[in-house]
Amino acid sequence: MIRSSKKLFLFSTFFMCILLVTFGMNGSLVCSAANQQSFSDLTATEKTLTILKDVVGLDTATYSTNLDTHTQDLYFEVLPQEDVKYTLESDESKLEVICTFVNEKLRSMNTYILDGSPRMTQPPTNTLEMAKEFINKYQTISSASYYGMLRSMLDNLEVNKNVTKTSGNTKLEVTGNASYTSFRWTYTVNGVEAPSKCVALKFENGFLKYFVDTWSIYKIGSTDLNISEDKAIDIAMKATENYSWNVSMGGDNPPVTVTDFNIVGVSETTSMIGNYPTKNESRGGDPFTLYPGWQIKLYFDKLYAGYVYGINVGIWADTGEVHDIRTMMWTGEYSPDENLNDNETAIELKSNEESNGETDSDLTSIAWIALPITVVLGVTIVYSKRKKAPHKLHKAPKSSSLKLSGALLCLLISLTMIPLAISIPTVKADTYVMPVYGSTLNITSQEEQFAETIAADFAYKFSTYAGYTTYNLFGSQTTKATVLNNAEDFEDDYDHVAMFHYGHGGIVWVVYQKHWDYFDDYGYEDYRQIRDYMVYSRTDQNKHFFVILWSCRQGDLYPGYDDPYGRAVGMPYAWHHGVDTNSDCFIGFADASMPLTQVSEHHNWVPYAFWLNMFAYYLTINHYKIMQALDAASQYFFNLDWDETELYTGFEAVWPGFGSGDGWMKVYGNSDIYVY
């Protein structure tokens, strides 16, 4: 009996040794088994590395890999989604890769080269050949039949030449310059595009920048273009006959209702195939079935309360049904006599002339351009601490939202994604703080509701997922004194200070020197203005590292300077005391800012409140760097990187006879940083 036990022990020991050696050779048995699996059977993390090696052509054997984050959620509330982020490092280069999988299929891949040049298994050729090779290899592992059609459209193209060609219902656009080349295939019917249904490849400096494939996710519900442009205009005009809107006047002032307005004409018409991105509001209850639609923009004879200069009407082009009516907010200079300049108001308010007095009120001529937006807030302090476990998936609590009425609000609230599983790094709440401000002064009720919800969402996400102490100071709590006092106090009490604000902003002249300012919830008077040099004197410890001012003109000037009187000039300079390009990031707008209720030119069913919500999501829940979050939010809705969207390239409000309100989102400092 003893001998049998000893033999059994020796055999077991020998067997375990063999097993351990087997696991140690060239990885584990699990890895070996994974290598033998078909691509569709691999996990999202395995697929990411496989695509990098077998499709992109990265020599992954020379890199160490680290799985930074792995989150699970629902794509547009319906389909399972996984986001994977890896860091790969070798002796020669370092890069980060972000992949999103929807229904277990790759939806997008973005790469960020941090150092050096990626090491490839084969030397890169020209971008046209790289595109052909990518499509061929990806078709092999994905078995997607439509890649044959996409690949055939690359034949007979000239290298480094911009071209647009159409084959059947597919439009190919090739654009580029000396540093990048983009290939984009979009579904189209009779010249009307469905930008949601596309495949795109972009190469930058000889390496893949991003890949997008939503072709199999979306289907076309109708191609019937039964409503002509003229008919759509008639429908839009009739739909606005009994339209009205409410306007918040800030502070304790009662709202006003606008019922009497005069439509002069049509400023713009666009047609697109798409749908609302939420299950509840989408046509047919399916956001992945697309239909043709018209956007008809009607303009007024003057600027009405809430800075409203017109109405945008959404109409289904196959049925003629009106599915959306929303106000259009003017964000440019209002110059009916073309004589208004920076020293005069941009709206129908009194204009102050410059004088030679010695006080700010005497020497001030306010010149601001309105862009409304409001922000959340009701005072809340939330502490959140998470243990770091980057390779484990954790259940995340359900996101809370303000219950606000209106179809547009329902869209935004329903889009607040509920993470199914996340991994959150450790953060100490007593080191990070974020106040969130917002003025309700002279903005439409729709804009106010969107801004309030967005701001509440920012505060919730930063507290729950990023471990911040957050203060929600919406509406009447957004006062000049509160903003300035908190700026100073938080630098005394915290190591890292972020700040978020929505509302009107502009410029102001002080002793003949141009300065920048924005307003609290109570008015435009001098004593309500939050000016750059006032902020500068309260932030001398330089602890504000991440600031978002969603207000007009606050990103006009960079990097800033001191005027002859020793006063700080420019908001980036004021908040950061000169933006530190290593540790600070400032986000603002040059000229006009983007209304939250405005639908994007890239997707006529997505207002920018949705985009901003997703930006906060990727910053906090997915723990992406600032630029990565900007790209991810843009890819989520528009299948574009941020620097390809109108936010970066420029947007405008077209008002025939009055001019155009142009604006650009500006990101100053270092966007390659985390917010926690």
Q: What is the pLDDT of residues 1-30, one digit of tens each?
A: 333 443 434 444 444 334 333 333 333 333
* Residue corresponding to tokens 């084959």: 167
**Is-contact 472 453, C-beta < 8 A?**
no
* Residue corresponding to tokens 């000049």: 480
**Summary mean pLDDT of the chain:** 85
Token pair belonging to 386: 């998470």
Amino acid type, 118 = P
Q: What is the pLDDT of residues 365-390, one digit of tens each?
A: 333 333 333 333 333 333 333 323 22
Q: SS3 letters for 614-645?
A: HHHHHHHCCCCCHHHHHHHHHHHHHCCCHHHC
pLDDT at 333: 54
pLDDT at 629: 98
Q: Residue 212 belongs to what H/E stretch?
A: strand 207-213
Report d(CA 595, CA 635) in Å as an integer. Answer: 20
Mean pLDDT of 182-189: 98
Report d(CA 504, CA 533) in Å as an integer. Answer: 18
Mean pLDDT of 633-639: 98
Number of neighbours of residue 632 by Cβ within 10 angstroms: 24
- Going by pLDDT thresholds of 50, 70 and 90, the confidence category of residue 207 is very high
Helix, strand, or coil here: 222? coil
Mean pLDDT of 648-652: 96
Helix, strand, or coil here: 570? coil
pLDDT at 657: 85
Q: Is the pLDDT of residue 653 over 50?
A: yes
CA dihedral defined by 652, 656, 658, 664, rounded to 10 degrees? 0
Q: Is the pLDDT of residue 500 over 50?
A: yes
Mean pLDDT of 52-58: 97
Report d(CA 511, CA 281) in Å as an integer. Answer: 52
The angle at the Cα of 12, spanning 10 to 16, to the nearest 5 degrees, equals 120
* Cis peptide bond N-terminal to 559, omega within 30: yes
pLDDT at 659: 78
What's the Cα-to-Cα distance from 39 to each of 44, 45, 87, 135, 142, rounded to whole Å?
Answer: 10, 12, 22, 16, 7
Query: What's the distance, CA 157 to chain centroid?
Result: 34
Mean pLDDT of 425-440: 82
Query: In 3D, which of 470, 490, 480, 466 has the Cα closest to residue 543?
Result: 490
Question: In a 10 Å sphere around its CB, with 0-12 CB exposed, 13-18 middle and 19+ buried, how is residue 200 labelled?
Answer: buried
Query: Nearest 5°: phi and psi at 157?
Result: -90, 150
The edge-to-edge listing of strands for the beta sheet with 469-474 is 469-474, 432-438, 496-502, 544-550, 585-591, 659-669, 651-655
**Is-contact 471 380, C-beta < 8 A?**
yes
Report d(CA 428, CA 659) in Å as an integer. Answer: 50
Q: Which residue(s) pair with 508 in the sheet?
A: 366, 515
pLDDT at 332: 58
CA dihedral defined by 122, 124, 125, 126, rounded to 10 degrees? 160
Mean pLDDT of 619-624: 98
pLDDT at 387: 29
pLDDT at 428: 57
Q: Residue 3 belongs to what H/E stretch?
A: helix 2-24
CA dihedral defined by 577, 674, 484, 463, rounded to 10 degrees? -170
**Is-contact 397 261, C-beta < 8 A?**
no
The DSSP symbol for 600 reads P
Mean pLDDT of 523-539: 96
Q: Is the pLDDT of residue 352 over 70?
A: no
Token pair belonging to 147: 């890649």
DSSP per-residue string spanning 257-286: EE----EEEEEEEEEEEE--SSTTTSGGG-
pLDDT at 374: 33
Q: What is the pLDDT of residues 60-74, one digit of tens each?
A: 999 999 999 999 999
Mean pLDDT of 130-136: 97
Alpha-helix runs per DSSP H in 465-594? 480-493, 532-536, 571-576
pLDDT at 17: 39
What's the Cα-to-Cα distance from 14 to each of 30, 315, 359, 431, rounded to whole Å?
Answer: 21, 75, 91, 54
Query: In 3D, which of 355, 334, 351 has the Cα closest to residue 343?
Result: 351
Higher pLDDT, 436 or 579: 436
Query: In 3D, which of 76, 67, 45 has the Cα closest to residue 416?
Result: 76
Query: Nearest 5°: phi and psi at 250?
Result: 80, 160
- Going by pLDDT thresholds of 50, 70 and 90, the confidence category of residue 515 is very high
Q: State what percent of residues in the chain have pLDDT above 90.
A: 76
pLDDT at 302: 95
- Going by pLDDT thresholds of 50, 70 and 90, the confidence category of residue 99 is very high
Query: pTM of the entire structure?
Result: 0.84
Q: State what percent of residues in the chain have pLDDT above 70.
A: 80
**Is-contact 292 224, C-beta < 8 A?**
yes
Q: Is the pLDDT of residue 620 over 50?
A: yes
102-116, 278-292, 343-357, 559-573: range with lowest mean pLDDT: 343-357
Q: Residue 105 belongs to what H/E stretch?
A: strand 105-115
Q: Is the pLDDT of residue 394 over 90?
A: no
- Going by pLDDT thresholds of 50, 70 and 90, the confidence category of residue 429 is low
87-101, 253-267, 403-417, 537-551: range with lowest mean pLDDT: 403-417
**Is-contact 663 593, C-beta < 8 A?**
yes
